[in-house]
Amino acid sequence: MNAFHSKLLEAAGSDFVKMGEPMKNHTTFRVGGPASWYVTPKDETALAAVVSLCRAENVPYYIIGNGSNLLVSDNGYEGVIVSMSESWNYCRIEGCRITAGAGALLSRIARAALDASLTGFEFAAGIPGTLGGAVVMNAGAYGSEMKYVLESARVLDREGRIRNLSLEELELGYRKSCILANGYIVLEAVLLLEAGDQAAVKARMDELAGQRREKQPLEYPSAGSTFKRPAGYFAGKLIQDAGLRGFRLGGAQVSEKHCGFVINRDHATAADVLNLCREVQRKVKDDFGVDLEMEVKMLGKF
């Protein structure tokens, strides 16, 4: 690995590589052990070089933004974490179009849209993720989702080429896109919004923020909705009806405010979170015959 480390420093630059970086500092769950390498590429050339090196050397790598939909093992990650949250954290507005980097927080983009009196992105203001992840998973809330505002995305493909994908080519569906299947990395995206009344946009954002505070456990670390919505059901309702409101294992707990959220209630470990999720899945399956699928991505050895 010493040879790989030297090559990684050459590809990314020594100022952009950390070893043994605790992933609890980079996930909204606030759990996770150290990554072997944590890289923040300074530009597209460095990003392509890092990814190409990892593939050539068969070293695992994983792309992250805000770490808002991620559960990293307590044992950490034996590979390279590539963070897009620094060099791709930009947002530009031209008319009704917003061009933003994959590392830009959705909340920042929503604020920029508000300042420019643009409407259509209010739904995303409270989602604690970045644009790249939102494109990959077609993030949505309050009756809207990315596919309704996304015009195109710029990606890096597996061969290191830059591609511009139209909305249709992205194949957005419920919590999915073509990005993962094709091994693409989102670099930036273009949103097409509509001119609106600034006061009305702010009122809607404030309304949704109020609903989130009332219904979601924002005071605790979490990864948002923990389970995907099963066909014909709501995950939170199933968990509640299974008698699991407030159910706790170690420092992890099913939120008492919203049963669809698993929270880090008190210094939880990743193992606490996963064990609790597995127990929730077992109980819901036994009681209702429904398989709950994790929406949160797991990384590392559990």
Q: Where are the domains of the chain?
A: 2-83, 91-201, 217-299
- In the residue annotation, 163 being an active-site residue is answered as no
249, amino acid identity: L
What local confidence, expressed as pLDDT, does residue 2 receive? 86
CB 105, CB 120: distance < 8 Å = no
For residues 266 and 1, which has the higher predicted lDDT (pLDDT)?
A: 266
Q: Is the pLDDT of residue 214 over 80?
A: yes
Among the listed residues 234, 285, 293, the one whose alpha carbon sits nearest the alpha carbon of residue 259? 234
Q: How confident is the model at residue 180 (pLDDT cuts 50, 70, 90)?
A: confident
What average pLDDT does this structure show over 133-162?
94
What average pLDDT does this structure show over 91-97?
97
CATH number of 2-83: 3.30.43.10
Q: How confident is the model at residue 1 (pLDDT cuts 50, 70, 90)?
A: low
Which residues have a Cβ under 8 Å from the Cβ of 199 and sit 6 or more positions away?
none
- Catalytic entry in 85, 107, 225, 255: 225
What local confidence, expressed as pLDDT, does residue 198 receive? 98
- Catalytic entry in 108, 163, 175, 229: 175
What average pLDDT does this structure show over 183-195?
97
Class of domain 91-201: alpha beta
Q: Is the pLDDT of residue 265 over 70?
A: yes
pLDDT tens-digit series, residues 215-236: 999 999 999 899 999 999 999 9
Q: Is the pLDDT of residue 53 over 90?
A: yes
- In the residue annotation, 175 being an active-site residue is answered as yes
Q: What are phi and psi of 34, to 5 degrees?
A: -80, 145
Mean pLDDT, the chain, rounded, equals 96
Dist. CA 140–CA 237, nearest whole Å: 19
- Paired sense of beta strands 194-195 and 118-119, if any: antiparallel
Among the listed residues 32, 31, 40, 43, the one whose alpha carbon sits nearest the alpha carbon of residue 8? 40
- In the residue annotation, 295 being an active-site residue is answered as yes
3-state secondary structure the chain: CHHHHHHHHHHHCHHHEEEEEEHHHCCCCCCCCEEEEEECCCCHHHHHHHHHHHHHCCCCEEEECCCCCEEECCCCEEEEEEECCCCCCCEEEECCEEEEECCCEHHHHHHHHHHCCEECCHHHCCCCCEHHHHHHHCCEECCEEHHHCEEEEEEECCCCCEEEEEHHHHCCECCECHHHHHCCEEEEEEEECEECCHHHHHHHHHHHHHHHHHHCCCCCCEEEECECCCCCCCHHHHHHHCCCCCCEECCEEECCCCCCEEEECCCCCHHHHHHHHHHHHHHHHHHHCCCCCECCEEECCC
End-to-end C-alpha distance for the chain, whole angstroms:
23
Architecture of domain 217-299: Alpha-Beta Complex (3.90)
**Whole-number percent of the chain with pLDDT over 70:** 100
Same fold, 91-201 and 217-299: no
pTM: 0.92
What average pLDDT does this structure show over 163-192?
93
